[in-house]
């Protein structure tokens, strides 16, 4: 067990600084102050971050820390902490680690006993969630679905029965593919596509998957998908599909139809009338 009292020690600190996801006015004074104070900024894409840093006149030394060098650069960052330096991690937009690099260095820094401190700011998923019109708790943030169709189907099957709002990041050129997969695996659920959040062309497209598929053509910009979670009523629909089969099975075992219906009602926690309707409407 390890306890970190962030502001009650002199240990070197790894700051996880959120940067704006579009609107530069969302960069907090605290984030700017920390980026000015640390010894080194480790950025996902140094060219993208330099533009942001120049805009805010931050001249701190920047090193590269991206997916392709994450392991190696994490060791380098921990070495800087060991030398007594304070380091800030930033990604291109939003929070580091959220569908972005950083987990490796955070784990190492915790292992080595350094402070790991988050600096609040903007995040695409949470912005989309609160404006989606869907319940905000519980929610599940998935990030990007796999680019492989089969893997994406498997991933969606994993969350099919979760009774919580689902959040996905998606690239615009894959939006229609993903909507079709959602329709196929999760059904015609309500969802919200939140596009270009905090930017001039911010847009929310809310409706069922089929409505969105018939409306959407070419989509541009960055987007988040907020999808309704599994509902108990849907569960009942699935159950009702099996009702017919179960009644038949009991009849085949020698029960009279009325006893079979009564038994199935008990098994499924349904009323006799629901089972009766379902059974006789389907046969
Ligand atoms: N770290 C970021 C965060 O905290 O939100 C996410 C980085 S992830 C590599 C980039 C994805 O986030 C985009 O493909 C898009 O799905 C989503 N995203 C980022 N900025 C966005 C914006 N302004 N509007 C909508 N979605 C955005």
pLDDT digits (tens, 9 = 90+) for 166-187: 999 999 999 999 999 999 999 9
- Output the CA 158–ligand 1 centroid distance in Å: 23
Pocket residue to mutate for ligand 1, from 22, 52, 93, most atoms within 8 A of Cβ? 93
Q: In terms of domains, do 57 and 149 share one?
A: no
What are the tokens at 35? 């980026």
Residues paired with residue 160 on neighbouring β-strands, in sequence order: none
Which of 230, 250, 267 is at the close of a domain? 230
Percent with pLDDT over 90 in the chain? 80
Question: Can you give the pLDDT at residue 238?
Answer: 57
> Is 72 part of any domain?
yes
* Residue 264, both tokens: 């199935």
Same domain for 111 and 180, yes or no, is no
pLDDT tens digits, residue range 183-219? 999 999 999 999 999 999 999 999 999 999 999 888 8
CA 191/CA 205 separation, integer angstroms: 8
Q: What whole-number distance in Å separates Cα of residue 174 and Cα of residue 222?
A: 11
Give the end-to-end CA distance of the chain in Å, rounded to a whole number: 61
pLDDT above 90 (res 275): no
Contact 25, 38 (CB under 8 A): no
Note whether 88 and 35 are within 8 A (CB): yes
Distance 223 CA to ligand 1 centre (A): 7
Q: Higher confidence at residue 276 or residue 229?
A: 229
The label of the residue with tokens 């912005």 reads 127
Ligand 1 binding pocket mutation candidate from 194, 222, 226 (most atoms within 8 A of CB): 222
1 C-alpha vs ligand 1 centroid, how far in Å?
33
Residues 220 and 238 in one domain: no
Report the CATH number at residue 62.
3.40.1010.10
Taking residue 272's Cβ as centre, other Cβ atoms within 10 Å add up to 14
13: number of CA atoms within 13 Å, CB side?
19
Q: Whose CA is nearest to atom 2 of ligand 1?
A: 94
Q: CB within 6 Å of ligand 1 — which residues? A: 21-22, 91, 93-95, 98-100, 123-125, 169-171, 194-199, 222-224
Burial letters 115-144, b for 16+ CB under 10 A, else e: bbbebebbbbbbbbbebbebeeeebebbee
- The answer, yes or no, to whether residue 261 has pLDDT greater than 70, is yes
pLDDT at 235 (0 to 100): 65
- The per-residue pLDDT for 40 is 98
Ligand 1 pocket test: pick from 22, 70, 124, 201 the residue with the most ligand atoms within 8 Å of its Cβ.
124
Task: Provide φ and ψ at 63, rounded to 5°.
Answer: -120, 165
Average pLDDT rounded to a whole number, residues 83-87: 98
Check whether residue 68 and residue 151 sit in a common domain: no
**Is the residue at 3 inside a domain?**
no
Ligand 1 centre distance from Cα of residue 73 (Å): 23
Given 71, 102, 122, which residue is the final one in a domain? 122
State the pLDDT at residue 271.
87
Question: Rounded distance, CA 206 to CA 261, Å?
Answer: 41
In the predicted structure, residue 234 carries a pLDDT above the cut 70: no
Nearest-angstrom CA–CA distance, 19 and 119? 9
Contact 221, 231 (CB under 8 A): no
Residues in the chain: 283
Number of compact structural domains in the chain: 3
* Residue 97 CA, ligand 1 centroid: distance in Å: 12
Comparison of pLDDT for 229 and 242, the residue scoring more: 229
Cα distance between residue 196 and residue 224, in whole Å: 9
Let me know whether 166 and 221 are in one domain.
yes
Q: Are residues 115 and 21 in the same domain?
A: yes
Name the residue with higher pLDDT: 190 or 246.
Answer: 190
Choose one of 90, 91, 99, 175 to mutate for the ligand 1 pocket test, by most ligand atoms within 8 angstroms of C-beta.
99
Same domain, 139 and 206: yes
Q: How far is the CA of 41 from the centre of ligand 1 (A)?
A: 21
Summary mean pLDDT of the chain: 94
Q: What is the mean pLDDT of residues 138-160?
A: 97
Claim to verify: residue 113 and residue 156 sit in the same structural domain: no
| Cα separation, 252 vs 269, whole angstroms | 22
Q: What is the pLDDT of residue 87?
A: 98
Could you give the CA distance from residue 134 to residue 225 in angstroms, rounded to a whole number? 11
- Answer with the one of 204, 230, 256 that is the final residue of a domain: 230
Cα of 144 to ligand 1 centre, how many Å? 10
Is 164 found in the same domain as 253? Answer: no
Burial of 11 (0-12, 13-18, 19+ CB in 10 A): middle
pLDDT-based confidence at residue 15 (cuts at 50, 70, 90): very high
Task: Tell me the Ramachandran region of residue 156: left when phi exceeds 0, alpha when psi lies from -120 to 50, beta otherwise.
Answer: alpha
Tell me the CA–centroid distance for residue 183 and ligand 1, in Å.
23
β-sheet bridge partners, residue 223: 170, 195
- Residue-level pLDDT at 76: 96
Range of the domain at 140: 125-230
């Amino acid at each position: 067990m390890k306890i970190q009292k962030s502001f009650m020690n002199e240990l070197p600190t790894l700051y996880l600084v959120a940067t704006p996801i579009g609107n530069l006015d969302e960069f907090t004074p605290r984030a700017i102050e920390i980026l000015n104070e640390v010894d080194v900024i480790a950025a996902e894409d140094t060219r993208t971050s330099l533009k942001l840093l120049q805009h805010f006149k931050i001249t701190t030394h920047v090193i590269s820390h991206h997916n392709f060098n994450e392991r190696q650069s994490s060791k380098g960052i921990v070495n800087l902490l060991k030398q007594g330096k304070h380091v800030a991690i930033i990604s291109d937009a939003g929070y580091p680690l959220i569908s972005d690099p950083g987990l490796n260095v955070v784990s190492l820094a915790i292992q080595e006993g350094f402070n790991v401190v988050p600096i609040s700011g903007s995040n695409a998923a949470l912005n989309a969630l609160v404006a989606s019109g869907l319940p905000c708790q519980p929610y599940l943030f998935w990030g990007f679905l796999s680019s492989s169709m089969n893997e994406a189907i498997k991933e969606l099957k994993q969350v099919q029965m979760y009774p919580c709002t689902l959040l996905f990041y998606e690239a615009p050129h894959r939006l229609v593919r993903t909507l079709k997969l959602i329709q196929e695996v999760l059904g015609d659920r309500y969802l919200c596509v939140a596009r270009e959040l905090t930017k001039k062309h911010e847009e929310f497209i809310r409706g069922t998957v089929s409505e969105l598929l018939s409306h959407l053509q070419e989509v541009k910009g960055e987007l988040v998908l907020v999808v309704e979670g599994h509902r108990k009523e849907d569960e009942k629909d699935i159950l009702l599909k099996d009702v017919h089969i179960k009644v038949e099975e009991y009849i085949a075992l020698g029960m009279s139809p009325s006893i079979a219906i009564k038994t199935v009602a008990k098994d499924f926690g349904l009323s006799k009338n629901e089972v009766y309707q379902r059974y006789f409407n389907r046969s």
